[in-house]
Structure formats: C-alpha cells, structure tokens
Structure 1
Amino acid sequence: MVSQETIRFAAVGDIHCKKESAGSLRNFFSQAAESADALLLCGDLTDYGLPEEAKILADELSAARIPIVAVLGNHDYESGQPDQVRRILADAGVRVLDGEPCEIHGVGIAGAKGFCGGFGRGSLGPWGEVAIKHFVNEVIQEALKLEAALAKLRTQQRIALLHYSPVAATVQGEPVEIFPFLGSSRLEDPLLRYPVNAVLHGHAHRGTPEGKTANGIPVYNVAKPLLQRTWTDRPPFRIIEIPKSDTPVM
C-alpha cells in the first residue's frame, strides 16, 4: 500500500484487551491494516497487564499484516509483569519501544510510555518529601528516554509515540482535578528540541482529539474510547499521513 507520496499510519491507544476479548478485535485490526501502511499503538494495550491478555492481543493483531509499533501504558504495568507483556508482543512481531527509535518505511519513530505530573504552572516540582522527588523523577526519566530516542533518529520525517500526553490541550474534557495524572509538560521539552511531524498519545479517554505543542507540532489523542465517541460512523483509529522522503537527516 505504500504510495510514492505519503506513508499512512493507523494510530490507536487504550485497547484494554481482556481475556474476554478473544475474537473481538481481529476485524478492527484488519480494517486498520487495509487503511494504512503501519499500525501504531499508544499504550494500555492490555487491561490488567496480564500475560494472558497479551497473548490474546498478539493473536488478534495477527490479522494486521503490516508493521506494528507500540509503547506500553499504565495498565500494562498493573500486574507487575510489563516485561512479559513486552516479550509476548515482541515475539508476535510488534516493536515495543521504551526509549528506543525505529524506522518504518523511511519514517523515524521515537517511543516512550511517558508519565504524569501536570502541565505548565500546575507541574509538580521535585521538592519536599522523598516520595514526591521519586514521583517527579519518574517523568524526568521518561522525558529523557523520549529525548534519547529522538536524538538517535536520522530520518527527515519523524513521529513521537507516547501513552501520556505532553500537552494540556488534548486532555481537555477530562475532570480538571485529574489533569496532573494524564500527562506532563516535561514530555513536551524534548519535542521542542527535536521537532517531529506528529505526536501520538492515549490515556485520556474523555479528552480532546487534537492539540499542539508550543512550537506548533500536531498532537493527537488516539485513545480508542475517545475516537469511538468522536467518529461514530467509522472505525476508531486515526490515520496520520506523513510525506515520504528518502533524504536522511545528517
């Protein structure tokens, strides 16, 4: 399907695959594969982070015979077995990124889970109790993972893949009280230093589909529950078209 002009990516997050999901997602992934050159998954791939759920998801994803790139989400950590979830999906051919880059059809992809902490003046600072400092350090480390992946890309066209949002705009619609738990402005900082064509994330089920970073990069919230409510007449994945380029960035 790769055209001479653009590369088409189907993006979705928050699939929340359960043990009962067997057989229910194959058609969805098949539709995505028919519409795009690659599939991008923005975390919360499983519901409780169980290996059994990951195995079911891997089987459902077999219907999508296109490259698949993913990051994990907070739900994928719930049972303390994220490495097993990652391994099961990797064994099924999914590239699961955690601070690494990859290249699909000449487009560079930098992926990290991200973390929470708030936006702008509402960002939590590393001050006071040790627990607070550990909490803030978590998002700092995730931002560093994203930056390291972006810095390694040598492609002209690039995508940033996250679970948590780097901007407040795409979590608008959620209760304001939980904004600090939906993402962090610290994830935006690497995107200001290493611009990309688009940023994709999930997590905010009641958020807003589109926003922008401070330097004008489009940010898309592709949480499946949000897209289901937004697009009632079409499958709930977003198509991102990236211009094709064979020129590497030196």
Structure 2
Amino acid sequence: MSRTASPGVVRFAAVGDIHVTKDHAGTLRGFFAQAAEAADALLLCGDLTDYGTAEEAKVLADELAAASSVPIVAVLGNHDFESGTPDVVRQMLTKAGVRVLDGEACEIEGVGIAGAKGFAGGFGRGSLGAWGEPAIKLFVQEALNEALKLESALAKLRTPRRLAMLHYSPVSSTVQGEPTEILPFLGSSRLEEPLLRYPVDAVFHGHAHRGTVEGKTINGVPVFNVAKPLLTRTRPEQPPFYLFEVPKP
C-alpha cells in the first residue's frame, strides 16, 4: 500500500531483528523499498546486525539506501554489541542518514520518537533485585541506566503524538511464547515505568523472536513486538514489518 493512501495520518513501518550478515548483500533492498513505499518513516528496533561488525554494518547501510526516500530511525540491540564495537555500527548508520537513538529523541512530521536499547532483568514480581553480589548489582544497574535513558528521551518530547522504540521489551505480554526459562532475559518492567509517567501512543521493540506481536502496558498503551522472524512466522500474508498509523498532529 502506498503511503499516499491515508493523507490524514503519519505511517510508521517498524521492524527489528534483521540480523544482517555479509551474505545479505543485495537481498534486503526490495524489503526496505517496500517498507518505504508503505510508510512515511522506518523504525528499526535493534539487532540490526548479527555480530555487530563493521562489515555487517556496511552491508546494512548499503541495503538501507533503498529506503532513503523516508526518514529512518533506529536503536541498537544486543547483537549490535557482540563484537564490542557498537559505535562503529552507529557511525556507519549515521553516515547513511539513519538517526540512531540512545536516550535521545527526534521528531518526524510532528510525531515525537524516543529511543533506547533497554535491557533485561525480568518482569513484575519476577524482576531481579539489586541485592547480593556486585555482579548482580551491576546487572540491575544496567537495566536502571537504560530505563533512565528512555525517561530522558521521553522527557525531551513536546509533541502531542509520541512513540517509543526499544530493543528489549518493557512488558511481559509480548515475550509470551518464548521458553519460560529465558523470559527474564528478554526485557524488564523497569522499562515500563517511564512509559507510565510519559504517555505515548505506542511502543515498539524486538528481541523476542518467538514472542507475541501485541501487548499493552499497565495503563493500556499498545506495545508491539516487531522482531522480523516473529512477523514473518505469524503474519505470512503480510510484509514482515508492522505498519502503525498515527493521526497527524
């Protein structure tokens, strides 16, 4: 569907977990072009590369050229950190015109977008507490730091319409379907807390390939798991990105 079909809305195509490798060169341009044709902007929710290497980031940047007709906004995921050079991934994407958010915010056609990677730690009563060994406290502190990044980004927005982007999930509902044993590593309720203080129209994340596409925060904000493997499996009749419409401010 062309993005000119709904003139009263801003359309966002959201997808995560593309896991680009060097072998993807030349294979994703049609997908990105399709997303750009359907939407006014493209949102990339982390795990954009498979090992976070410069080579993979270069392939991704080249493929994204097919979507250069629309703004592209991204957050990084855990895979983009695997090689210890997330700044290289960020720099290559930025050079290609992608806005990479890490506790920052931006605006597209009057819609504010706040983004951060997020982190793990569990949900609700199952959340890991900062008690005991220093390593546990460091783990919990990382989740708190990412929640603070999200809150900082949300606090910067002054637009009437707002979206939030993460890689890790802020709610348990969109990771259901994954093995119970790994649920605490797929997100954290600490990421939900800023979303309760700063209202948004929707939240997008990835990471949980076998999760559930749609969920909600405690206060009813829709949360969408847009991991590409999940969208491919659960909605085979549609392109593997989630199209979300926001009324024009």
Q: 2:163 aligns with which of 142, 159, 171?
A: 159
Structure 1 unaligned segments of length 5 or more: list them: 246-250
User: Which residue in 1 is equivalent to 2:210?
Assistant: 206
Which residue of 2 is the match for residue 60 of structure 1? 63
- After TM superposition, the structure 1 = structure 2 runs for residues 137-176 of structure 1, keeping only pairs within 5 Å, are 137-176=141-180
1:181 paired with 2:185, answer: yes
2:248 is matched with 244
Aligned to 2:19: 16
Q: Deviations over 1:185-218 (max 9, x none)?
A: 0000000000100000000000000000000000
Instruction: Report the Cα distance in structure 2 between the residues aligned to 1:85 and 1:52, rounded to whole angstroms.
Output: 9
Q: Percent identity?
A: 74
Q: Deviations over 1:111-137 (max 9, x none)?
A: 000000000000000000000000000
Over 6 Å off, 4+ runs: none
SS in 2 for 1:62: helix
Alpha-carbon shift at residue 138 of structure 1 (Å): 0.1
Instruction: Report the Cα distance in structure 1 between the residues aligned to 2:27 and 2:169, rounded to whole angstroms.
Output: 28
Aligned equivalent of 1:26: 29
Question: Which TM-score applies when normalising by structure 1?
Answer: 0.97
- SS state at 2:66 partner: coil
The 5 A counterparts of 1:110-129 are 110-129=114-133
* Code of the aligned partner of 1:148: S
Residues 77-132 of structure 1: per-residue CA shift (max 9 Å, x gap): 00000001000000000000000000011100000000000000000000000000
Correspondent of 2:46 among 38, 43, 47: 43
Unaligned runs of 5+ in 2: none
Structure 2 residue aligned with 1:87: 91
C-alpha deviation, 1:231, in angstroms: 1.1
Q: Does 1:5 align with 2:2?
A: no
Per the alignment, residue 197 of structure 2 pairs with: 193
Q: How much has 1:4 moved relative to structure 2?
A: 4.0
Q: Which of residues 228, 232, 237 in structure 1 aligns to 2:232?
A: 228
- What count of residue pairs does the alignment treat as equivalent? 245
Computed over aligned residues only, the root mean square deviation of the Cα atoms, in angstroms, reads 0.7
3-state SS in 1 of match to 2:164: strand
Cα distance in 1 for residues equivalent to 2:158 and 2:86: 29
